Structure 1
Amino acid sequence: MPRVLVIRTGSAPDDVRAAHGDFTEWFAALLAPAAVVAADAEPAGALPDARGLDGVVVTGSLASVTRPEPWMDALGGWLLAAAEQIPVLGVCFGHQLLGHALGVRVERNPRGPEAGTREVTLTRAGRADPLFQGLPERLAVQQSHSDHVPALPPGAVLLAGNGHAPVQAFGHGPRIRAVQFHPEFDAARTRALCESERELLDAARPGLAVEALSSIRETPEAARILANWRAGLGGA
């Protein structure tokens, strides 16, 4: 059975966590039957030796790579070193952190937050990548982010994009994969996050919260991304 480290880079807001649990539990449910162990990103020195793992997932966060802290650079370096041996998957903040570690700038998206259920389009490389095996070219996904990676890191391959954030997924070498969206979210979690962030969304654009909430639907195909990633791990 594969052993996966889920690195928690933050927690859901208190009201969301009280009703739905926290990020680590959401990943654990979709990575089963992999054995999931959890670690907090800060301090990065507390992270285990990657040699005892089969894969690493980096969660989303309320923190921002546009406001760097020492633990972010430390974790980014640790992830690149781990990826020399085992698969690493970054999700939302994790996607942005990997982009930053690989040499690309992360910025506040000038188009504003992307929230609710949205569509991304797989590129030819994305359609051929095992991460998206069996999934349609146009894929409904759950979104909750204000920052984005505006360009590919050097040496990376674009796997998915959309008009709001052009780099929705990328691959770098054989073991690094990153997605801007949230395969671990279901409709209820996305709705709870949108409700919790209603003021933030409407401050970005009046009416955005209602627009995001009205868009929400289940995305079972996107949830399969984690099963696809798990299937490629050693010990599977």
Structure 2
Amino acid sequence: MSHRQRRVLLLQAGSAPAALRARFGDFPDWFARHLAPRVELEVVRPYERALPSPSRFHGVLVTGSLASVTDPAPWMDEAGAWLVDAARAIPVLGVCFGHQLLARALGGRVELNPRGREAGTVEVQLTAAGARDPLFAGLPARLLAQETHEDHVAELPPGATLLAGNARTPVQAFGVGERLRCVQFHPEFDQARSRHLAELRRAAGEAAAWGDVDPAAVRETPEATAVLGRWLDHFVGAR
């Protein structure tokens, strides 16, 4: 089957801040840079309309959001249940908010991180299980990733396997079964997006509240970005 015949549903859970959208486009554009050359993408916003049948797709990816699952809206509960059901048949990847949404839908616990917000370029450590998992296999045991979040998965869902973590956010990635994978970090971000976000927060006087990231310290994170390609290769089958 050709790459164009593989269809991925991009569940857009929110939008980027206006200043970032003006320069880089919105969340679907950020993922499309990595996915669109290889698969056919369809974008759906679950807070605007009902989700389609998962049988139409070969995979589902859930984006980040400025919303929080600790303040759940009805659409979050509906989307979470839909995703858990979809993962019985097709691969599902949750990113940041999507990671937290799926953890909650599966019976895990999400809360405001008592260790504070995590932002900028940070190091993530794979567990032994993570190093063996198709999502990370062959990547360095310690890899750099872009982050921007204040909530975290405080307790894994029943049956979940921890794939990666660090001191500030112990659950950086987890898996459930063969098809469902979640990452707290942002594989779709690059240095330019993460650096511009840090600059915007400094300009708005919000840097301290977001970890006071030095824009000059933001680095490229190719290993984290590689996770998207690995998901297509090993889960969606878009080779």
TM-score range normalised by the length of the shorter chain: over 0.9
Conserved? CA contact 2:126–2:141, under 8 Å: yes
Deviations 1:154-199, CA, capped at 9 Å, x for gaps: 1000000000000000000111100000000000111122233344
Conserved? CA contact 1:113–1:201, under 8 Å: no
Percent identity of the aligned residues?
Answer: 56
* Pairs within 5 Å for 1:119-134: 119-134=123-138
Mapped pair 1:36 → 2:41: yes
Q: Secondary structure at the match of 1:90?
A: strand
* Pairs within 5 Å for 1:1-236: 1=3, 2-31=6-35, 32-43=37-48, 45=50, 47-198=51-202, 199-203=205-209, 208-209=211-212, 211-232=213-234, 233-234=236-237, 236=239
Q: Secondary structure at the match of 1:164?
A: coil
Partners in 2 of 1:110 and 1:124 — Cα distance?
26
Change (3 A) 1:212 1:83: farther
Aligned-pair CA distance for 1:112: 1.1
Deviations 1:67-122, CA, capped at 9 Å, x for gaps: 11000000000000110110000000000000000111210111111000000100
Partners in 2 of 1:58 and 1:44 — Cα distance?
15
Q: Secondary structure at the match of 2:158?
A: coil
Partners in 2 of 1:235 and 1:192 — Cα distance?
32
Partners in 2 of 1:82 and 1:203 — Cα distance?
37
Letter in 1 for 2:219: R
Partners in 2 of 1:194 and 1:35 — Cα distance?
32
Q: Secondary structure at the match of 2:194?
A: helix
Q: Structure 2-normalised TM-score?
A: 0.93
More moved, 56-65 vs 145-154: 145-154
Q: Which runs of 5+ in 1 are unaligned?
A: none
Partners in 2 of 1:114 and 1:201 — Cα distance?
12
Change (3 A) 1:105 1:44: farther
Q: Structure 1-normalised TM-score?
A: 0.94
Aligned-pair CA distance for 1:234: 3.9
Deviations 1:111-140, CA, capped at 9 Å, x for gaps: 111000000100010000000122100010
Conserved? CA contact 2:175–2:182, under 8 Å: yes
Aligned-pair CA distance for 1:235: 5.4
Change (3 A) 1:235 1:215: closer
Letter in 1 for 2:218: I
Letter in 2 for 1:170: F
Letter in 2 for 1:203: A
Q: Secondary structure at the match of 1:132?
A: coil
Partners in 2 of 1:186 and 1:197 — Cα distance?
17
Aligned length: 231
